């Protein structure tokens, strides 16, 4: 791994994305951190831990804006070695109660936005015939979960997209890995019986949730593996869940 290796992380302003960003920057990589909020990105970039983090404020549901952002990263920061698609929107609502705006938002962010980022990055990776793409999907992309129909649809789409892409791109020298984690300890899951706005009560033992740092460490491990080894799909979850 070169000290100048450039990694792009989407959804980098909080939770898993922030942990991935800090971990990879601390390991000597230059991380282009993508999210919508410039203020949240600035907090991630200024946190102690070392390394170079470059905030890139952009909405991944805007295909043209993403294309410009990825082109700008290549031009101003350096060739992208790895793209980590981590952005995600979640809503725990039964489908018939879910409004159409939320349905559109989940699909646009989780699936379409991921595809836009990947399409833009491949325009640069393919001529070099090298690169890695990691998609942070979910166990919700491997089964159906009540109350998460739209989220499951978006994550099933991600899993299918990345597994097809892995077969298309492996002969071109580009490796694709899909991660399917279970419950992760983020602000989404409330610690009490009275959930804060934007969070819901985790149905199991919240202390058993996967720490965001575990995802970051797993990705660091994957990036350290020889390019001759393919990690197609990794499914993992808290011991109190089963998928």
- Where do the structural domains in the chain lie, given as residue ranges? 6-236
Candidate ranges 9-13, 44-48, 198-202; pick with highest mean pLDDT: 9-13
Is pLDDT at 133 greater than 60 in this prediction?
Answer: yes
The pLDDT > 90 percentage for the chain reads 75
Query: What is the structure's pLDDT at 58?
Result: 98
Query: What is the structure's pLDDT at 195?
Result: 57
Is pLDDT at 3 greater than 70 in this prediction?
Answer: no
**Known catalytic residue at 151:** yes
CATH of domain 6-236: 3.40.50.720
**Which range among 45-59, 137-151, 203-217 shows the weakest confidence by mean pLDDT?**
203-217
Q: Which of 116, 151, 202, 231 is catalytic?
A: 151
Task: Kindly report, residue by residue over 18-50, the tens digit of the pLDDT.
Answer: 999 999 999 999 999 999 999 999 999 998 777
Query: What is the structure's pLDDT at 240?
Result: 76
Query: What is the structure's pLDDT at 220?
Result: 96
Is pLDDT at 2 greater than 70 in this prediction?
Answer: no
Provide the mean pLDDT of the chain. Answer: 90
Phi, psi angles (nearest 5°) of residue 180: -125, 80
Is pLDDT at 203 greater than 80 in this prediction?
Answer: no
Q: Is the pTM of this model over 0.85?
A: yes
The pLDDT > 70 percentage for the chain reads 89
Is pLDDT at 1 greater than 60 in this prediction?
Answer: no
């Amino acid at each position: 791994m070169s000290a100048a290796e450039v990694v792009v992380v989407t959804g980098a302003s909080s939770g898993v994305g922030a942990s991935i960003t800090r971990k990879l920057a601390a390991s000597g990589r230059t991380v282009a951190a993508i999210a919508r909020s410039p203020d949240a990105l600035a907090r991630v970039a200024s946190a102690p831990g070392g390394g170079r983090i470059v905030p890139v404020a952009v909405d991944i549901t805007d295909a043209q804006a993403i294309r410009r952002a990825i082109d700008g990263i290549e031009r101003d920061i350096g060739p992208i070695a790895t793209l980590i698609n981590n952005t995600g929107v979640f809503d725990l609502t039964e489908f018939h109660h879910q409004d159409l705006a939320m349905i559109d938002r989940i699909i646009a962010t989780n699936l379409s936005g991921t595809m836009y980022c990947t399409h833009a990055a491949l325009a640069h990776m393919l001529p070099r015939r090298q690169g890695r793409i990691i998609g942070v999907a979910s166990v919700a992309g491997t089964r159906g979960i009540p109350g998460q129909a739209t989220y499951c649809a978006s994550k099933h789409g991600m899993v299918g997209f990345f597994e097809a892409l892995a077969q298309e791109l492996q002969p071109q020298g580009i490796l694709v890995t899909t991660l399917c984690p279970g419950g992760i300890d983020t602000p989404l899951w409330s610690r009490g019986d009275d959930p804060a706005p934007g969070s819901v009560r985790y149905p199991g033992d919240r202390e058993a949730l996967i720490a965001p740092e575990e995802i970051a460490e797993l990705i660091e491990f994957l990036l350290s593996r020889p390019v001759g080894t393919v990690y197609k799909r990794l499914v993992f979850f808290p011991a109190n869940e089963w998928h």
